[in-house]
Amino acid sequence: MIHVVLYEPEIPQNTGNIMRTCMASNCKLHLIEPLGFSLDEKHLRRSGMDYRDQLEVFTYKDWNEFISKNTGTYFYITRYGKKSPTMFDYKEVEGDIYLIFGKESTGIPKEILHDHLEYCARLPMVKEARSLNLSNCVAICVYEVLRQLDYPGLSPVEFIKGEDWLENE
């Protein structure tokens, strides 16, 4: 199972987009408080679309509560990481995979990252760029894990309109 963890997210539209990505990719979403918005905000509903009811979302009062309730391998996505997400072999991970992303303004606290340097990843980009949009980072990283695992449980064809929709006149 793949889990997406947002440490103190601040922007509801990002979290809504991430909710949509998690639902579509069969990931669970974990939100660590404080949140910079209410979970019932209209921006969150709009960007998360109708998928909110089909998604498992867990909230935690802080980092300590989160780690006390979740076991698996944690990967920290941070601008300070020295490996790209493709350098990890997710097929070799035993148990659940947790992709942890920091808040939009400051990222994951150094106190958390310091003891897990071997699991810190950075999305490669030009040296002048600080970061990419959070929801884009989540999508990129989730799909790298899914690619390595050969997209378990995901449909390779269009289901709603039918896989032959393009061929039909």
Residue 164 in any domain: the answer is no
Residue 6 in any domain: the answer is yes
Per-residue pLDDT of the chain (169 residues; tens, 9 = 90+): 999 999 999 998 899 899 999 999 999 999 999 999 887 756 566 554 566 677 889 999 999 999 999 999 999 999 999 999 999 999 999 999 999 999 999 999 999 999 999 999 999 999 998 889 999 999 999 999 999 999 999 988 888 888 888 888 7
77 is an annotated ligand-binding site residue: yes
CATH of the domain at 133: 3.40.1280.10
Residue 163 in any domain: the answer is no
* CA dihedral for 142, 146, 149, 153, sign (positive or negative): positive
Show the DSSP H helices in the chain as ranges.
12-25, 42-48, 63-69, 110-113, 134-148
123 is an annotated ligand-binding site residue: yes
pLDDT at 43: 59
Residue 159 in any domain: the answer is no
Residue 166 in any domain: the answer is no
84 is an annotated ligand-binding site residue: no
Render the burial of 19-57: b for 16+ CB within 10 Å, e for the rest: bbbbbebbbbbbbbeebebeeeeeebeebbeeebeebeb
pLDDT at 68: 97
72 is an annotated ligand-binding site residue: no
Instruction: State pTM to two decimals.
Output: 0.92
Residue 27 in any domain: the answer is yes
For the chain, how many structural domains are there in total?
Answer: 1
Domain that holds residue 99: 2-148
